[in-house]
A and B are shown apart, each in its own frame.
Chain A
Amino acid sequence: MSSQAARSGAVTAAKIRAPKRPAGTLYRGREGMWSWVLHRITGTAIFFFLLVHILDTSLIRLDPEAYNAVINTYKTPIMGLGELALVAAIGLHALNGLRIIAIDFTSWGVRHQRLMFWIAIGLWVVLMIGFAPRHLMHVFGGE
């Protein structure tokens, strides 16, 4: 390498400032990464609920009283809040899942993946505003 090229390289390098804080990349720390994190966490939570839910529903084949006893625990305040969290997790997983499909199968989706993340969050908020009050009334409203 000639000394001239080395010097011009140094000049160029000086213009690019090192970030003061550790900066993310196009992916890291941004919507793409966080949607991936949320997808894994919500997916895992839903999976473990599904295991329990298949087992508790199976009581329907064995003993009506046992089934009623277990399902009555689903109507308690703590489980009621758990169901709210479950629906929240399912809503996020479903909406972000549709976003992933749009990204995987269309070039439009790749270009607008960030916008679609916020659309999914917006639809999720609307979904929860629609579901939460009614569900909480069912759980806390008495008979």
Chain B
Amino acid sequence: MTTETIQPPRSAARARRGTNWEKWGWIYMRFSGVLLVVLIFGHLLVNLFLGQGVSAIDFAFVAGKLANPFWIVWDTLLLWLALIHGANGMRTLTNDYAHGKLRVVLLVLLAGATVVLLVLGTLVLTTFDPCIGEPTGALVEICK
């Protein structure tokens, strides 16, 4: 007698409520993924392959790159796209493999680390100063 209209759990009406964040996360992974293929392989090509590769990297090498706004934009895009892509991937793994309180703790740690590193990395890239410390090599001329 009282068994009447109970809404099916996966009806369209239920799914349509609010923003579908899982859908946008799914879309983000694919679009950022394509961009990251270009950004990361460019990063690896310049830093690990061309010239003397890893053995040439030091403060002066990075200062030389960051003197060009092109690389500041490149690295900032890389920072945001890669870290959010990675954090969202780790969120998926956490939801799959952790349960109860552990899952909540891990998700909070993940979100905290992501926000801190996004702010830190962005500050480093936007306030970089090639003349801190004792200038060496080509920086001596620039920092006079």
Contacts and interface: CB of A to CB of B under 8 A. Distances in A.
A67 interface: yes
Interface residues of B, number: 41
B82 A50 contact: yes
A47 B123 contact: no
A54 B54 contact: no
B33 interface: yes
Interface residues of A, number: 41
Nearest to B133: A64
Contacts of A128: none
A133 to B, nearest CB: 11
Interface stretch (B4-12, B16-24, B57-65, B99-107): B57-65
A138 B54 CA distance: 7
B86 interface: yes
Nearest to B36: A94
Given A98-B34, A101-B34, A63 B53 contact: no
B51 to A, nearest CB: 9
Contacts of A65: 59, 133-134
A63 to B, nearest CB: 6
A134 B56 CA distance: 13
B126 to A, nearest CB: 10
B37 A98 contact: yes
B54 A75 contact: yes
Interface string B20-60: 00000000001001101100110010001100111101110
Contacts of B136: 64
Interface in A123-138: 131, 134-135, 137-138
A43 interface: yes
Contacts of A55: 117, 120
B127 interface: yes
Contact of A68 (B54, B58, B121): B58
B15 interface: no
Given A55-B120, A72-B58, 8 more contacts: A47-B86, A57-B121, A64-B132, A65-B59, A83-B54, A97-B33, A97-B37, A137-B53
24 contacts: A43-B86, A43-B89, A46-B86, A50-B82, A50-B86, A51-B117, A54-B79, A54-B117, A55-B120, A57-B62, A57-B124, A58-B120, A63-B132, A64-B132, A64-B133, A67-B62, A68-B58, A68-B59, A71-B58, A98-B34, A101-B34, A134-B53, A135-B48, A138-B55
Interface of A: 40, 43-44, 46-47, 50-51, 54-55, 57-58, 60-65, 67-68, 71-72, 74-75, 80, 83, 87, 90, 94, 97-98, 100-101, 104-105, 131, 134-135, 137-139, 143
